Structure 1
Amino acid sequence: MGKSYYVYILSNNSRMLYTGMTNDLQQRVYQHKQKQVSGFTKKYNLYKLVYYAETDDVGYAIRREKEIKGWSRKKKKELIESINPEWRDLAKDWYS
């Protein structure tokens, strides 16, 4: 089996958005939740995984992350709500 890459969107209670890309989604989301990643996500408490997509093509993942980052807020919101209409934290039960 090949390596997996993930494009993901984090949010907070104010529904601010952050789009990222990683090859280890569980580890990366954990780092965000524990405030181990300096910068935007830490400053604005972006901890809820509201969207992610998996691919085995790293080039596609990088292009997709850049593409989504260039989108309007409305288009990002539509993408999130296409799989997660309630904006639930998709990683809520990952770490116990």
Structure 2
Amino acid sequence: MGIYVYMLRCADGSYYVGSTTSDDLARRIDQHNAGSYKGYTFSRRPVVLVWSEHFDRITDGIAAERQVKGWSRAKKEALVRSDWAKVTELSRRRAGRPKQS
């Protein structure tokens, strides 16, 4: 079965990251565009799929979704471009500050 994690570019230029266990990702995107569910994308239609990845294990997909949701706009755009060097660069801590707990 598995899970798809996907990113949409909304009409206002913002990004939405979501997931679906449906085997039909195109149908899920159509649901976003139809406004089937009131949520983030409802007032930001139309939306366009800009990135997706399939995970065999649902737990891996959920972890990836949460991770990407926390990324900066620049890092999300690097992912969309498959610019892995930029994704890596944007992953580094700024100014060498230690991670705060």
Match in the other structure for 1:94: none
Does residue 58 of the first structure (1) align with residue 55 of the second (2)? no
Indicate the structure whose relative CO is greater, using CA pairs within 8 Å and at least 6 residues apart.
1
- Unmatched 5+ stretches in structure 1: 84-96
Pair member with larger Rg: 2
Residue 46 of structure 1: how far off its partner (Å):
4.8
Cα distance in 1 for partners of 2:9, 2:16 equals: 6
Q: Write the letter of the residue equivalent to 2:13.
A: R
Q: Which structure has more helix as a fraction of its residues?
A: 2
Contact 1:32 1:41 in 2 (8 A): yes
Runs of 4+ aligned structure 1 residues displaced above 2 Å come to: 12-15
Q: Write the letter of the residue equivalent to 1:82.
A: S
Contact 1:19 1:68 in 2 (8 A): yes
Residue 35 of structure 1: how far off its partner (Å):
1.2
Sequence identity (%): 33
Q: Write the letter of the residue equivalent to 1:12.
A: C
Match in the other structure for 1:44: 44
Residue 20 of structure 1: how far off its partner (Å):
0.2
Q: Write the letter of the residue equivalent to 1:49.
A: L
Match in the other structure for 1:18: 16
| Aligned-residue RMSD, C-alpha | 1.5
- TM-score of the two chains, using structure 2 as the length reference: 0.73
Q: Write the letter of the residue equivalent to 1:44.
A: R
Cα distance in 1 for partners of 2:47, 2:11 equals: 9
- TM-score of the two chains, using structure 1 as the length reference: 0.77
Contact 2:10 2:41 in 1 (8 A): no
Structure 2 residue matching 1:82: 3-state secondary structure: coil
Write the deviation string for residues 35-86 of structure 1: whole angstroms up to 9, x where unpaired. Answer: 1121110111151011100111100000000000011111001001118xxx
Cα distance in 1 for partners of 2:6, 2:46 equals: 12
